[in-house]
Chain A
Amino acid sequence: GSSLEPEEHSMEPPAAPEEELPLTEASGPAGCQLFGYVGIEAVLDQMKIKTMKMGFEFNIMVVGQSGLGKSTMVNTLFKSKVSRKASQPGQEERIPKTVQLQSVTHVIEEKGVKMKLTVTDTPGFGDQINNENCWDPIIKYINEQYERYLREEILITRKRKIPDTRVHGCVYFVPPTGHWLRPLDLEFMRRLSKIVNVVPVIAKADTLTLEERAEFKQRVRASSREAPGVPRVLPRPQLKPCILQIQADLKTHAISVYPQEDFDLDPDDRALNDRIREKIPFAVVGADQEHQVNGKRVLGRKTKWGIIEVENPAHCEFPLLRDLLIRSHLQDLKDITHNVHYESYRVRRLNESNRP
């Protein structure tokens, strides 16, 4: 609440003390010095209340071959059974003949903040023998969501709050196969990064470490996803060559993944995002089972040699992914989707409808 009595605040003058400029007819904004507390800051609280009442929407898409742990990852991210696991051990997994998209929406709440979370899964991606154009249904889906929003926005009598089904972030799971990106990965990311925020992650990074360790110099692709694991993900320095290679590949092919350099707002932003960009793609491990470690219950993956603690930054980079997607950049993902990707879709769409 705000006080009724004028408070004796020491007014920190703004960084560059603004003088009162003489006003001319066509002057820009003049800076004025406040002589005492006014209460403008209270607008921040007003905003918070408003947004908490409205609630948030967040739409995330996971793309990758079957068996890379996408569903587990989503469940770990949101600490709930958001996606039903693809298969039970022992059961035959049915791989669809074409890429299908399945969206599931839930409402989750934390600290009074309500979030409508939609997760879109893409079973069948990259699973065929011939995977040409397997990204088409995905691109179609993303554009359809933009189209829906556009149609709502263009109505004469439009809703107060336009329902937002646009994909805010697309997490792309790179198989832990080796030291570089495959043509499928490159093609997909190249096309998608133009219309949506793409966050590449190295899936099942615990098996990656085995590759790294055992065949450091050789470039061999992994075949099995249940390779006997080592209890720990390699510390950063040993993962580094692989990450660097991927980063180099992305650069060579001019693929701009999230957070995109072009959209850094100011030097602070740039510095923060540079630190994140150094670490992308994150090497992640997903787990939704709790285990007992040192008297604490932790989320982890049990292997013969020990338990990989998912939320332990020394074990894997899952916390980095979670922090990026949820704790620090969620709003930014939405803003870039709205201000950049949606706008370019709109420009394309409106221009094409004008051709006679």
Chain B
Amino acid sequence: QNDGYRTLSLSGHVGFGSLPDQLVKKSIKQGFCFNILCIGETGSGKSTLINSLFNTTFDDPVSSHFLPRVQLRAQTYELQEGNVLLKLTIVNTVGFGDQINKEDSYQPIVDYIDAQFEAYLQEELKIRRSLFSYHDTRIHVCLYFISPTGHSLKTLDLLAMKSLDSKVNIIPVIGKADSISKTELQKFKNKIMSELVSNGVQIYQFPTDDETISKINSTMNGHLPFAVVGSTEEVRIGNKMVRARQYPWGIVQVENENHCDFVKLREMLICTNMEDLREQTHARHYELYRRCRLEEMGFRDVGPENKPVSLQETYQAKRHEFYLELQRKEEEIRQQFVQRVREKEAILKEAEQKVHTKYEQHMLMLQEVKMKLEKKRKVLEDEIAMFIEKKANVEVLQSQASVSTPPVSVKKDKDRKKYVRC
């Protein structure tokens, strides 16, 4: 694939053969990101398998069966092997398949995956962006745990995988596979694969285009779904301690290929195809999401009359939309403010009214009291006037009487005194 350019031959050693190493060195510095989503019913062995895969113990509390809806729990760990630093995120579906009504079981998962794509898209669309140092949370692989019933896929499994196959790389696994016998296992696997095919579910195919790994990948493709067993305990076999499950009738060794497909899974997931999983997520699933989302937002590559839409128009449109949104929000807030002011005003007016009314009432009362007081005063004045008149009359009489009968005066004095006192 030279795209039609002339190939030149080199007359000596130039040195760009070191390019892949330069690239690798840079990647090591940057570190790697890998995000795994585990879907499976509670108790299907997800956490144990992850612990076994990465040969460590991730602190993950056991969940109950009684959650009202499916929740996704993401935890990020930093693992180091040699000089490779891996930022591993494990997303667990908690409560999957536990509800009586499972209709909404997979919607939260789809929403979660979309949300990670959305976050990346938003970063990519920013004017000032930092994609270089962005912590990529997009799900690179989904391990779907099938219950080891030995019969076929459940309806929930089919529906869930169908709704996810265009958004994420799905690797189906059979969890707790030590409960199925060898003969049943092959029949079970075949049944599962044919059901997936007949329902049009696109699971992840290990890539076979590169000759170094195509052989092993195509072999592995034939072993899907992987029947896995995980264990957090170690048992002594010979002179080594290995991960295994001890039963009264024997020991199931996790890393023994005759016992289960654990090693195959680890090989495929980590050692051979981690990079491809990341690339597929970015180049295929994310691009699809991006395309749909941009079209949804109203962007087009080709405008009316089939002319390519210019960059300016595209961003102008987005900016315009954004401003409209801003204006709308501003208007909304302004309306709310006006409303509140009105309400406050009304309250204040009412209060004022009340105060006014009270004031008037009091004024009225005051008037009444004043009038009453006036009346009483009048009465009193009349009485005083009458008394003065009477006093004057009595004095006149007395002056006339004193000329004729003096001894009565003592009594009359007393009477007078009494009278005056009244």
B37-45, B75-83, B220-228: which lies at the interface: B75-83
A32 at the interface (CB under 8 A from B): yes
With the chains together, A154 CA to B3 CA distance in Å? 24
Q: Mark B27-58, 1 if CB is under 8 A from A, else 0.
A: 11100100000000000000000000111111
In the complex formed, the residue of A with least CB distance to B20 is A48
In the complex formed, the residue of A with least CB distance to B58 is A32
B279 at the interface (CB under 8 A from A): yes
Question: How many whole Å from A118's CB to the nearest CB in chain B?
Answer: 9
B22 near A328 (CB under 8 angstroms)? yes
Contact A157-B301, Cβ < 8 Å, known A32-B79, A43-B274, A80-B9? yes
Interfacial chain B residues near A48, Cβ < 8 Å? 20-21, 23-24
Interfacial chain B residues near A330, Cβ < 8 Å? 16, 19, 22
B59 near A20 (CB under 8 angstroms)? yes
B29 near A265 (CB under 8 angstroms)? yes
B145-153, B172-180, B188-196, B307-315: which lies at the interface: B307-315
Interfacial chain A residues near B5, Cβ < 8 Å? 105-107, 116
Contact A110-B276, Cβ < 8 Å, known A56-B19, A156-B294? no
Residues of A40-57 whose CB lies within 8 A of B = 40-44, 46-53, 55-56
B26 near A40 (CB under 8 angstroms)? no
A354 near B319 (CB under 8 angstroms)? yes
In the complex formed, the residue of B with least CB distance to A115 is B16
A131 at the interface (CB under 8 A from B): no
A158 near B16 (CB under 8 angstroms)? no
Contact A20-B314, Cβ < 8 Å, known A41-B82, A43-B274, A347-B128? no
A42 near B272 (CB under 8 angstroms)? yes
With the chains together, A346 CA to B9 CA distance in Å? 37
Question: How many whole Å from A326's CB to the nearest CB in chain B?
Answer: 5
A326 near B127 (CB under 8 angstroms)? no
Q: Mark A211-246, 1 if CB is under 8 A from B, else 0.
A: 000000000000000000000000000000000000
- Residue from the list A37, A108, A335 in contact with B26, Cβ < 8 A: A335
With the chains together, A25 CA to B10 CA distance in Å? 58
- Residue from the list A51, A156, A266, A354 in contact with B29, Cβ < 8 A: A266
With the chains together, A150 CA to B26 CA distance in Å? 24
Contact A327-B257, Cβ < 8 Å, known A49-B212, A79-B11, A353-B312? no
Question: How many whole Å from A64's CB to the nearest CB in chain B?
Answer: 22
- Residue from the list A18, A23, A107, A329 in contact with B75, Cβ < 8 A: A23
Question: How many whole Å from B81's CB to the nearest CB in chain A?
Answer: 4
B59 near A108 (CB under 8 angstroms)? no
B105-113, B263-271, B373-381, B408-416: which lies at the interface: B263-271
Total count of chain B residues near the partner, CB < 8 A: 83
Interface size class of A (residues with CB under 8 A): 35 or more
B100 at the interface (CB under 8 A from A): no
A2 near B271 (CB under 8 angstroms)? yes
With the chains together, A35 CA to B23 CA distance in Å? 29
Contact A113-B19, Cβ < 8 Å, known A2-B267, A40-B84, A349-B311? yes
Interfacial chain A residues near B22, Cβ < 8 Å? 328-332
With the chains together, A162 CA to B60 CA distance in Å? 42
A44 near B84 (CB under 8 angstroms)? yes
Q: Mark B266-296, 1 if CB is under 8 A from A, else 0.
A: 1100111111100100010001001100110
- Residue from the list B19, B53, B316 in contact with A331, Cβ < 8 A: B19
In the complex formed, the residue of B with least CB distance to A266 is B29
Question: How many whole Å from A165's CB to the nearest CB in chain B?
Answer: 12
A353 near B6 (CB under 8 angstroms)? no
- Residue from the list A35, A43, A78, A156 in contact with B84, Cβ < 8 A: A43
Interfacial chain A residues near B59, Cβ < 8 Å? 20-23, 30
Interfacial chain B residues near A347, Cβ < 8 Å? 127-128
A38 near B54 (CB under 8 angstroms)? yes
Interfacial chain B residues near A51, Cβ < 8 Å? 19-20, 23
Q: Mark A188-225, 1 if CB is under 8 A from B, else 0.
A: 00000000000000000000000000000000000000
A44 near B55 (CB under 8 angstroms)? no
Contact A156-B266, Cβ < 8 Å, known A34-B55, A80-B8, A331-B26? no
A6 near B16 (CB under 8 angstroms)? no
Q: Mark B59-71, 1 if CB is under 8 A from A, else 0.
A: 1100000000000
Interfacial chain B residues near A157, Cβ < 8 Å? 291, 301
B356 at the interface (CB under 8 A from A): no
B403 at the interface (CB under 8 A from A): no
With the chains together, A18 CA to B128 CA distance in Å? 34
A351 at the interface (CB under 8 A from B): yes
- Residue from the list B18, B55, B86 in contact with A37, Cβ < 8 A: B55
- Residue from the list A35, A39, A113, A265 in contact with B56, Cβ < 8 A: A35
Residues of B306-335 whose CB lies within 8 A of A = 311-312, 314-316, 319
A160 at the interface (CB under 8 A from B): yes
B54 near A34 (CB under 8 angstroms)? yes
A32 near B16 (CB under 8 angstroms)? no
B23 near A82 (CB under 8 angstroms)? no
- Residue from the list B13, B79, B266 in contact with A79, Cβ < 8 A: B13
Interfacial chain B residues near A46, Cβ < 8 Å? 272-276
Question: How many whole Å from B214's CB to the nearest CB in chain A?
Answer: 11
B132 at the interface (CB under 8 A from A): yes
B397 at the interface (CB under 8 A from A): no
Question: How many whole Å from B120's CB to the nearest CB in chain A?
Answer: 14
Interfacial chain B residues near A251, Cβ < 8 Å? none
B12 at the interface (CB under 8 A from A): yes
Question: How many whole Å from B394's CB to the nearest CB in chain A?
Answer: 105
Contact A110-B7, Cβ < 8 Å, known A79-B12, A150-B311, A353-B315? no
In the complex formed, the residue of A with least CB distance to B278 is A43
Question: How many whole Å from A11's CB to the nearest CB in chain B?
Answer: 8
B129 near A327 (CB under 8 angstroms)? no
Residues of A78-124 whose CB lies within 8 A of B = 78-82, 105-113, 115-116
Identify 14 new A-B residue pairs, CB closer than 8 A, beyond the known A18-B78, A156-B295, A322-B15: A11-B81, A27-B75, A28-B76, A31-B78, A39-B81, A44-B24, A46-B276, A49-B210, A81-B8, A106-B8, A107-B5, A157-B291, A326-B16, A327-B16
- Name 26 interchain pairs, CB-CB below 8 A, sorted by A: A27-B75, A29-B78, A38-B55, A38-B79, A38-B270, A39-B81, A40-B274, A47-B20, A48-B24, A49-B210, A52-B20, A80-B10, A105-B5, A107-B5, A110-B16, A113-B20, A115-B16, A116-B3, A156-B291, A157-B291, A323-B15, A326-B14, A327-B16, A328-B18, A332-B26, A347-B127
What 8 A-B pairs have minimum CB-CB distances, sorted nearest first? Answer: A111-B17, A46-B275, A39-B271, A331-B22, A2-B271, A327-B15, A42-B271, A353-B312
Interface residues of B (CB under 8 A from A): 1-3, 5-24, 26-29, 32, 53-60, 75-82, 84, 86-87, 127-129, 132, 210, 212-213, 242, 255, 257, 263, 266-267, 270-276, 279, 283, 287, 290-291, 294-295, 299-301, 311-312, 314-316, 319
